[in-house]
Structure 1
Amino acid sequence: MADVKSLLKKLEHHGEQALFATRWLLAPFYLGLGISIVVLLLKFMAELFHLVTHAFSSTESEVILGVLALVDLALTGSLLIIVIFSGYENFVSKIDHSNHKDWPEWMGTIDFAALKLKLLSSIVAISAIQLLKKFMVIEKVGEREIFWLVIIHIVFVVSSVLLALSDRISGHGSGHAPPAPASGHGSGSHEGGTKAAAAVPDLSKDAAAGGNHH
Protein backbone atom coordinates (compact mmCIF):
# COMPACT_ATOMS: atom_id res chain seq x y z
CA MET A 1 0.00 0.00 0.00
CA ALA A 2 2.84 2.36 0.85
CA ASP A 3 4.50 1.55 -2.49
CA VAL A 4 1.29 2.45 -4.36
CA LYS A 5 1.04 5.79 -2.55
CA SER A 6 4.69 6.50 -3.27
CA LEU A 7 4.19 5.67 -6.95
CA LEU A 8 1.12 7.91 -7.17
CA LYS A 9 3.02 10.70 -5.48
CA LYS A 10 5.85 10.41 -7.99
CA LEU A 11 3.39 10.39 -10.90
CA GLU A 12 1.69 13.46 -9.48
CA HIS A 13 5.03 15.22 -9.09
CA HIS A 14 6.16 14.45 -12.64
CA GLY A 15 2.73 15.43 -14.01
CA GLU A 16 2.88 18.77 -12.24
CA GLN A 17 6.39 19.35 -13.55
CA ALA A 18 5.20 18.61 -17.09
CA LEU A 19 2.27 21.00 -16.72
CA PHE A 20 4.54 23.67 -15.31
CA ALA A 21 6.94 23.22 -18.23
CA THR A 22 4.14 23.93 -20.73
CA ARG A 23 4.52 27.62 -19.90
CA TRP A 24 7.54 27.64 -22.23
CA LEU A 25 5.16 27.04 -25.13
CA LEU A 26 4.24 30.72 -24.75
CA ALA A 27 7.83 31.83 -25.42
CA PRO A 28 7.51 31.58 -29.25
CA PHE A 29 4.41 33.80 -29.05
CA TYR A 30 6.40 36.58 -27.39
CA LEU A 31 9.28 36.02 -29.80
CA GLY A 32 6.83 36.47 -32.68
CA LEU A 33 5.57 39.70 -31.11
CA GLY A 34 9.18 40.86 -30.93
CA ILE A 35 9.58 40.20 -34.66
CA SER A 36 6.38 42.14 -35.33
CA ILE A 37 8.05 45.19 -33.75
CA VAL A 38 10.61 44.99 -36.57
CA VAL A 39 7.73 45.07 -39.08
CA LEU A 40 6.28 48.10 -37.30
CA LEU A 41 9.70 49.77 -37.47
CA LEU A 42 9.89 49.23 -41.23
CA LYS A 43 6.41 50.71 -41.64
CA PHE A 44 7.35 53.62 -39.37
CA MET A 45 10.45 54.39 -41.44
CA ALA A 46 8.41 54.25 -44.65
CA GLU A 47 5.83 56.67 -43.23
CA LEU A 48 8.57 58.96 -41.94
CA PHE A 49 10.35 58.95 -45.31
CA HIS A 50 7.09 59.81 -47.08
CA LEU A 51 6.37 62.59 -44.59
CA VAL A 52 9.82 64.16 -44.95
CA THR A 53 10.00 63.95 -48.75
CA HIS A 54 6.53 65.51 -49.13
CA ALA A 55 6.91 68.08 -46.36
CA PHE A 56 6.86 71.12 -48.68
CA SER A 57 4.22 69.88 -51.10
CA SER A 58 1.77 68.60 -48.47
CA THR A 59 -0.96 70.64 -46.85
CA GLU A 60 -1.13 71.23 -43.12
CA SER A 61 -3.83 68.59 -42.71
CA GLU A 62 -1.77 66.02 -44.60
CA VAL A 63 1.27 66.71 -42.40
CA ILE A 64 -0.84 66.34 -39.26
CA LEU A 65 -2.25 63.07 -40.58
CA GLY A 66 1.27 61.82 -41.27
CA VAL A 67 2.41 62.71 -37.75
CA LEU A 68 -0.67 61.01 -36.28
CA ALA A 69 0.19 57.89 -38.26
CA LEU A 70 3.69 57.92 -36.73
CA VAL A 71 2.23 58.38 -33.24
CA ASP A 72 -0.17 55.51 -33.90
CA LEU A 73 2.69 53.20 -34.87
CA ALA A 74 4.77 54.29 -31.86
CA LEU A 75 1.87 53.57 -29.48
CA THR A 76 1.35 50.17 -31.07
CA GLY A 77 5.04 49.36 -30.62
CA SER A 78 4.88 50.44 -26.98
CA LEU A 79 1.82 48.25 -26.51
CA LEU A 80 3.77 45.29 -27.89
CA ILE A 81 6.65 45.97 -25.50
CA ILE A 82 4.24 45.98 -22.55
CA VAL A 83 2.70 42.68 -23.66
CA ILE A 84 6.04 41.00 -24.38
CA PHE A 85 7.90 41.82 -21.18
CA SER A 86 5.00 41.77 -18.74
CA GLY A 87 3.47 38.66 -20.27
CA TYR A 88 6.79 36.82 -20.30
CA GLU A 89 7.56 37.69 -16.68
CA ASN A 90 4.02 36.89 -15.50
CA PHE A 91 3.50 33.62 -17.36
CA VAL A 92 6.85 32.19 -18.48
CA SER A 93 9.91 33.12 -16.45
CA LYS A 94 11.54 35.96 -14.59
CA ILE A 95 14.08 37.96 -16.56
CA ASP A 96 17.46 38.47 -14.92
CA HIS A 97 17.97 42.20 -15.37
CA SER A 98 20.55 42.73 -12.63
CA ASN A 99 23.18 43.79 -15.18
CA HIS A 100 20.86 46.09 -17.14
CA LYS A 101 21.12 49.59 -15.66
CA ASP A 102 18.48 50.96 -18.07
CA TRP A 103 15.86 48.38 -17.07
CA PRO A 104 12.51 50.20 -16.54
CA GLU A 105 11.20 49.91 -12.99
CA TRP A 106 7.61 49.17 -14.03
CA MET A 107 8.62 45.94 -15.79
CA GLY A 108 9.50 44.28 -12.50
CA THR A 109 6.43 45.44 -10.60
CA ILE A 110 3.51 45.25 -13.01
CA ASP A 111 1.07 42.40 -12.35
CA PHE A 112 -1.67 40.92 -14.53
CA ALA A 113 -4.32 43.42 -13.38
CA ALA A 114 -2.04 46.37 -14.11
CA LEU A 115 -1.14 44.77 -17.45
CA LYS A 116 -4.82 44.72 -18.45
CA LEU A 117 -5.21 48.39 -17.50
CA LYS A 118 -2.11 49.39 -19.49
CA LEU A 119 -3.35 47.42 -22.48
CA LEU A 120 -6.77 49.07 -22.41
CA SER A 121 -5.21 52.50 -21.91
CA SER A 122 -3.02 51.99 -24.97
CA ILE A 123 -5.99 50.73 -26.99
CA VAL A 124 -8.03 53.79 -25.99
CA ALA A 125 -5.17 56.07 -27.08
CA ILE A 126 -4.84 54.26 -30.43
CA SER A 127 -8.61 54.43 -30.95
CA ALA A 128 -8.57 58.17 -30.20
CA ILE A 129 -5.83 58.73 -32.77
CA GLN A 130 -7.76 56.77 -35.40
CA LEU A 131 -10.85 58.84 -34.63
CA LEU A 132 -8.86 62.07 -34.86
CA LYS A 133 -7.44 61.02 -38.22
CA LYS A 134 -10.96 60.55 -39.53
CA PHE A 135 -12.04 63.94 -38.20
CA MET A 136 -9.16 65.57 -40.06
CA VAL A 137 -10.73 64.41 -43.35
CA ILE A 138 -14.33 64.42 -42.19
CA GLU A 139 -15.54 65.73 -45.55
CA LYS A 140 -14.37 62.44 -47.12
CA VAL A 141 -15.82 60.19 -44.42
CA GLY A 142 -19.45 59.15 -44.17
CA GLU A 143 -21.54 59.91 -41.10
CA ARG A 144 -22.16 56.21 -40.50
CA GLU A 145 -18.44 55.47 -40.32
CA ILE A 146 -17.85 58.36 -37.92
CA PHE A 147 -20.79 57.18 -35.80
CA TRP A 148 -19.42 53.68 -35.40
CA LEU A 149 -15.89 54.93 -34.72
CA VAL A 150 -17.24 57.11 -31.90
CA ILE A 151 -19.29 54.20 -30.51
CA ILE A 152 -16.28 51.88 -30.56
CA HIS A 153 -14.12 54.50 -28.86
CA ILE A 154 -16.75 55.03 -26.15
CA VAL A 155 -16.92 51.27 -25.60
CA PHE A 156 -13.14 51.15 -25.10
CA VAL A 157 -13.24 54.07 -22.66
CA VAL A 158 -16.13 52.62 -20.65
CA SER A 159 -14.46 49.20 -20.58
CA SER A 160 -11.21 50.65 -19.22
CA VAL A 161 -13.08 52.66 -16.57
CA LEU A 162 -15.12 49.63 -15.47
CA LEU A 163 -12.00 47.46 -15.33
CA ALA A 164 -10.19 50.05 -13.21
CA LEU A 165 -13.18 50.30 -10.86
CA SER A 166 -13.49 46.52 -10.53
CA ASP A 167 -9.79 46.18 -9.73
CA ARG A 168 -10.06 48.98 -7.17
CA ILE A 169 -13.12 47.40 -5.52
CA SER A 170 -11.53 43.95 -5.44
CA GLY A 171 -8.37 45.47 -3.97
CA HIS A 172 -10.34 47.15 -1.16
CA GLY A 173 -12.37 44.02 -0.47
CA SER A 174 -9.47 41.59 -0.42
CA GLY A 175 -9.00 42.03 3.31
CA HIS A 176 -5.43 43.32 3.10
CA ALA A 177 -4.51 45.46 6.06
CA PRO A 178 -3.40 49.00 5.28
CA PRO A 179 0.29 49.76 5.64
CA ALA A 180 1.48 50.66 9.10
CA PRO A 181 1.76 54.42 9.63
CA ALA A 182 5.13 56.04 10.05
CA SER A 183 6.51 56.61 13.50
CA GLY A 184 5.13 59.71 15.13
CA HIS A 185 1.80 59.46 13.25
CA GLY A 186 -1.38 57.49 13.58
CA SER A 187 -1.44 54.79 16.26
CA GLY A 188 2.18 55.42 17.18
CA SER A 189 1.43 59.02 18.15
CA HIS A 190 -1.71 57.89 19.97
CA GLU A 191 0.28 55.40 22.03
CA GLY A 192 2.94 58.03 22.69
CA GLY A 193 0.26 60.49 23.83
CA THR A 194 -1.25 57.88 26.16
CA LYS A 195 2.14 57.13 27.72
CA ALA A 196 2.88 60.84 28.09
CA ALA A 197 -0.50 61.43 29.75
CA ALA A 198 0.15 58.57 32.15
CA ALA A 199 3.54 60.03 33.05
CA VAL A 200 2.12 63.48 33.94
CA PRO A 201 1.06 63.64 37.63
CA ASP A 202 -2.55 64.48 38.47
CA LEU A 203 -2.10 67.92 40.04
CA SER A 204 -5.80 68.29 40.86
CA LYS A 205 -5.69 65.26 43.16
CA ASP A 206 -2.53 66.56 44.86
CA ALA A 207 -4.15 69.96 45.42
CA ALA A 208 -7.27 68.37 46.91
CA ALA A 209 -5.18 66.24 49.23
CA GLY A 210 -3.28 69.31 50.38
CA GLY A 211 -6.57 71.12 51.15
CA ASN A 212 -7.77 68.26 53.33
CA HIS A 213 -4.57 68.37 55.38
CA HIS A 214 -5.17 72.06 56.06
Structure 2
Amino acid sequence: MKKGDQKGVFTDKKSAEEFNRLARTVFAPVNAAVARQIVQECGVGSGTAVDIGSGPGHLAIELARITDLTIVSLDISPCVRPVAVENIRAAGLSDRITAVTGDAAQIPLSDASVDLAVSKGSVFFWPEPAAAFREIRRVLRRGGEAWIGGGFGSSAILQGVGEQMDRFDPTWIDGVRERLGDRTAERFREELNDAGIEEYTILHDPWQLWIRFQGGKG
Protein backbone atom coordinates (compact mmCIF):
# COMPACT_ATOMS: atom_id res chain seq x y z
CA MET A 1 0.00 0.00 0.00
CA LYS A 2 1.53 3.29 -1.09
CA LYS A 3 0.49 6.72 -0.01
CA GLY A 4 1.15 8.14 -3.44
CA ASP A 5 3.71 8.43 -6.20
CA GLN A 6 6.36 9.67 -3.76
CA LYS A 7 7.06 7.30 -0.89
CA GLY A 8 5.31 8.31 2.28
CA VAL A 9 3.53 11.29 0.73
CA PHE A 10 -0.11 11.59 -0.32
CA THR A 11 0.04 13.06 -3.81
CA ASP A 12 -3.67 13.38 -4.51
CA LYS A 13 -7.09 13.20 -2.89
CA LYS A 14 -7.70 9.65 -4.14
CA SER A 15 -4.58 8.23 -2.44
CA ALA A 16 -5.44 10.07 0.78
CA GLU A 17 -9.00 8.71 0.81
CA GLU A 18 -7.84 5.17 -0.03
CA PHE A 19 -5.37 5.21 2.87
CA ASN A 20 -8.05 6.65 5.13
CA ARG A 21 -10.36 3.72 4.37
CA LEU A 22 -7.66 1.25 5.37
CA ALA A 23 -6.78 3.27 8.48
CA ARG A 24 -10.42 3.22 9.59
CA THR A 25 -10.77 -0.52 9.08
CA VAL A 26 -7.68 -2.72 8.80
CA PHE A 27 -5.43 -0.47 10.90
CA ALA A 28 -8.00 0.64 13.49
CA PRO A 29 -6.71 -1.78 16.17
CA VAL A 30 -3.16 -0.55 15.57
CA ASN A 31 -3.88 3.12 16.21
CA ALA A 32 -5.82 2.36 19.40
CA ALA A 33 -3.11 0.03 20.72
CA VAL A 34 -0.27 2.42 19.91
CA ALA A 35 -2.10 5.32 21.56
CA ARG A 36 -2.46 3.27 24.75
CA GLN A 37 1.18 2.26 24.60
CA ILE A 38 2.34 5.86 24.20
CA VAL A 39 0.28 7.08 27.14
CA GLN A 40 1.34 4.19 29.37
CA GLU A 41 5.04 4.50 28.53
CA CYS A 42 5.39 8.29 28.33
CA GLY A 43 2.93 9.19 31.08
CA VAL A 44 1.79 12.37 29.33
CA GLY A 45 -1.97 12.84 29.61
CA SER A 46 -2.40 16.59 29.36
CA GLY A 47 -0.82 19.62 27.75
CA THR A 48 0.07 19.95 24.06
CA ALA A 49 1.04 17.21 21.61
CA VAL A 50 2.02 17.05 17.96
CA ASP A 51 1.47 14.00 15.76
CA ILE A 52 4.01 14.29 12.93
CA GLY A 53 3.11 12.61 9.65
CA SER A 54 -0.41 12.26 11.01
CA GLY A 55 -2.05 11.56 7.66
CA PRO A 56 -5.84 11.27 8.16
CA GLY A 57 -5.38 11.92 11.89
CA HIS A 58 -6.34 8.56 13.36
CA LEU A 59 -3.52 8.29 15.91
CA ALA A 60 -4.18 11.87 17.04
CA ILE A 61 -7.85 11.00 17.47
CA GLU A 62 -7.10 7.89 19.52
CA LEU A 63 -4.71 9.86 21.73
CA ALA A 64 -7.30 12.57 22.30
CA ARG A 65 -9.89 9.96 23.29
CA ILE A 66 -7.81 8.65 26.19
CA THR A 67 -6.11 11.88 27.36
CA ASP A 68 -6.80 15.57 27.89
CA LEU A 69 -4.17 16.56 25.32
CA THR A 70 -4.60 19.36 22.81
CA ILE A 71 -3.09 17.97 19.61
CA VAL A 72 -1.65 19.31 16.36
CA SER A 73 -2.17 16.76 13.57
CA LEU A 74 0.72 17.61 11.22
CA ASP A 75 1.26 16.22 7.73
CA ILE A 76 3.32 17.40 4.77
CA SER A 77 0.62 16.53 2.21
CA PRO A 78 -1.98 19.30 1.68
CA CYS A 79 -4.41 16.86 0.06
CA VAL A 80 -4.80 14.81 3.25
CA ARG A 81 -5.71 17.76 5.46
CA PRO A 82 -9.43 17.85 4.45
CA VAL A 83 -9.65 14.12 5.20
CA ALA A 84 -8.12 14.65 8.63
CA VAL A 85 -10.40 17.61 9.34
CA GLU A 86 -13.47 15.50 8.54
CA ASN A 87 -12.27 12.59 10.68
CA ILE A 88 -11.61 14.94 13.59
CA ARG A 89 -15.03 16.56 13.17
CA ALA A 90 -16.77 13.17 13.02
CA ALA A 91 -15.00 12.15 16.25
CA GLY A 92 -16.29 15.29 17.96
CA LEU A 93 -12.75 16.49 18.67
CA SER A 94 -12.46 19.67 16.59
CA ASP A 95 -11.98 21.71 19.77
CA ARG A 96 -8.87 19.69 20.72
CA ILE A 97 -7.23 18.56 17.46
CA THR A 98 -6.08 20.93 14.71
CA ALA A 99 -4.97 19.59 11.32
CA VAL A 100 -1.97 21.51 9.96
CA THR A 101 0.11 21.14 6.80
CA GLY A 102 3.82 21.11 7.58
CA ASP A 103 7.18 19.36 7.26
CA ALA A 104 8.82 17.26 9.97
CA ALA A 105 12.09 19.06 9.22
CA GLN A 106 10.44 22.48 9.64
CA ILE A 107 7.76 22.03 12.29
CA PRO A 108 5.55 25.16 12.39
CA LEU A 109 5.53 25.37 16.20
CA SER A 110 7.37 27.53 18.72
CA ASP A 111 10.39 26.43 20.71
CA ALA A 112 9.60 24.41 23.85
CA SER A 113 5.86 24.43 23.15
CA VAL A 114 5.05 20.70 23.16
CA ASP A 115 4.75 18.14 25.95
CA LEU A 116 4.52 15.11 23.66
CA ALA A 117 5.73 14.56 20.08
CA VAL A 118 4.65 11.36 18.36
CA SER A 119 4.97 9.93 14.89
CA LYS A 120 3.83 6.53 13.66
CA GLY A 121 4.92 5.22 10.29
CA SER A 122 6.21 8.36 8.60
CA VAL A 123 9.78 8.51 9.94
CA PHE A 124 10.80 5.72 7.55
CA PHE A 125 10.10 8.07 4.63
CA TRP A 126 11.62 11.30 5.97
CA PRO A 127 14.35 12.51 3.58
CA GLU A 128 16.23 14.24 6.42
CA PRO A 129 15.65 12.31 9.66
CA ALA A 130 18.43 14.11 11.56
CA ALA A 131 16.92 17.50 10.73
CA ALA A 132 13.51 16.25 11.85
CA PHE A 133 14.91 14.89 15.12
CA ARG A 134 16.50 18.28 15.83
CA GLU A 135 13.17 19.97 15.12
CA ILE A 136 11.33 17.61 17.43
CA ARG A 137 13.80 18.32 20.22
CA ARG A 138 13.42 22.06 19.55
CA VAL A 139 9.64 22.08 19.97
CA LEU A 140 9.66 19.82 23.05
CA ARG A 141 9.53 21.40 26.46
CA ARG A 142 12.24 20.37 28.92
CA GLY A 143 11.32 16.84 29.95
CA GLY A 144 8.76 16.55 27.15
CA GLU A 145 8.57 13.13 25.51
CA ALA A 146 9.25 12.07 21.91
CA TRP A 147 7.87 8.73 20.65
CA ILE A 148 8.88 8.28 17.00
CA GLY A 149 8.89 5.21 14.77
CA GLY A 150 6.47 2.48 13.89
CA GLY A 151 4.71 -0.43 15.49
CA PHE A 152 1.55 -2.45 15.85
CA GLY A 153 1.05 -2.74 19.59
CA SER A 154 1.66 -6.49 19.65
CA SER A 155 2.72 -9.40 17.45
CA ALA A 156 -0.90 -10.61 17.38
CA ILE A 157 -2.13 -7.32 15.94
CA LEU A 158 0.63 -7.34 13.31
CA GLN A 159 -0.34 -10.88 12.32
CA GLY A 160 -4.00 -9.92 11.97
CA VAL A 161 -3.24 -6.81 9.94
CA GLY A 162 -0.79 -8.76 7.78
CA GLU A 163 -3.42 -11.37 6.93
CA GLN A 164 -5.83 -8.65 5.80
CA MET A 165 -3.21 -6.61 3.93
CA ASP A 166 -2.10 -9.69 2.02
CA ARG A 167 -5.33 -9.40 0.01
CA PHE A 168 -4.44 -5.84 -1.03
CA ASP A 169 -0.67 -6.15 -1.41
CA PRO A 170 1.17 -9.47 -0.91
CA THR A 171 4.48 -7.59 -0.60
CA TRP A 172 3.25 -5.39 2.27
CA ILE A 173 4.65 -7.58 5.05
CA ASP A 174 8.09 -7.57 3.41
CA GLY A 175 8.14 -3.79 3.58
CA VAL A 176 7.14 -3.89 7.23
CA ARG A 177 9.94 -6.32 8.07
CA GLU A 178 12.46 -4.12 6.29
CA ARG A 179 11.28 -0.93 8.00
CA LEU A 180 11.27 -2.56 11.44
CA GLY A 181 14.55 -4.41 10.88
CA ASP A 182 18.02 -4.16 12.37
CA ARG A 183 19.42 -2.04 9.55
CA THR A 184 16.74 0.58 10.07
CA ALA A 185 17.45 0.65 13.80
CA GLU A 186 21.14 1.20 13.10
CA ARG A 187 20.35 3.96 10.60
CA PHE A 188 18.21 5.69 13.23
CA ARG A 189 21.12 5.57 15.69
CA GLU A 190 23.33 7.26 13.10
CA GLU A 191 20.70 9.92 12.39
CA LEU A 192 20.21 10.60 16.11
CA ASN A 193 23.95 11.03 16.52
CA ASP A 194 24.02 13.38 13.53
CA ALA A 195 21.22 15.36 15.19
CA GLY A 196 23.31 15.73 18.33
CA ILE A 197 20.89 13.66 20.41
CA GLU A 198 23.00 11.55 22.72
CA GLU A 199 20.41 10.41 25.25
CA TYR A 200 17.78 8.22 23.64
CA THR A 201 16.21 4.78 23.85
CA ILE A 202 15.30 2.48 20.98
CA LEU A 203 12.51 -0.01 21.64
CA HIS A 204 12.89 -2.80 19.09
CA ASP A 205 10.92 -6.01 18.57
CA PRO A 206 9.69 -7.77 15.41
CA TRP A 207 6.43 -5.79 15.61
CA GLN A 208 7.80 -2.38 16.61
CA LEU A 209 10.69 0.06 16.30
CA TRP A 210 10.35 3.19 18.42
CA ILE A 211 12.75 5.99 19.28
CA ARG A 212 12.33 7.79 22.60
CA PHE A 213 14.06 10.93 23.81
CA GLN A 214 13.22 13.98 25.87
CA GLY A 215 13.27 17.71 25.31
CA GLY A 216 15.95 19.82 26.95
CA LYS A 217 18.54 17.05 26.70
CA GLY A 218 21.35 16.27 24.33
The TM-score range, normalised by the shorter chain, is: under 0.3
Greater Rg over alpha carbons, structure: 1
Length-normalised TM-score, structure 1? 0.28
- Whichever structure has more helix as a proportion of its residues is 1
TM-score, normalised to structure 2, is 0.27
Q: Which fold has the larger relative contact order, with Cα–Cα distance below 8 Å and residues 6 or more apart in sequence?
A: 2
